[in-house]
Amino acid sequence: MLFMGDAEAGGRSLPSTKPKPSSIEVELLACCTAELKADVLVVGHHGSKTSSRTAFLAAAGAHLFLVSAGPTKYPTVVLPDDEIITELEGRGQVFRTDFDDGACATSAEKVGPTRRKTWRL
């Protein structure tokens, strides 16, 4: 399993965009490509276009992807981004907390008490 947390590839861009030279994804590709191999990838940045560039996903070689996101809008975007989900689905099976975890819509521990009020089933 590879947990990406908040590791970035650069600004909000399509997965096919090369990661920025100063990004964590580039640093990992430069130093540790062999160690990146994983069957399961916990996708970075809640499935945002700030992570998960094609080059990085290819190096990781994962076929199962976990995306922890939602069910509410983040300050300026709704995550995960469709372009990232499409890229991941082309590589394997995707599990999302906003769709595949029923407790996500109702649990204050997952969404917080103020955001929970905005969720509509």
Q: How many residues does the chain have?
A: 121
Cis geometry, peptide bond prior to residue 80 (ω within 30 degrees of 0): yes
Question: Does residue 104 register a pLDDT over 70?
Answer: no
**pLDDT tens digits, one per residue of 13-56:** 999 999 999 999 999 999 999 899 999 999 998 899 999 999 99
* CA separation for the pair 69, 98 (Å, rounded): 6
pTM (predicted TM-score): 0.81
Task: Give residue limits of the domains in the chain.
Answer: 2-116
Backbone angles phi, psi at 64, to 5 degrees: -125, 130
Higher pLDDT, 11 or 72: 11
What mean pLDDT is reported for the chain? Answer: 84
Higher pLDDT, 49 or 73: 49
Question: Does residue 101 register a pLDDT over 80?
Answer: no
Higher pLDDT, 36 or 116: 36
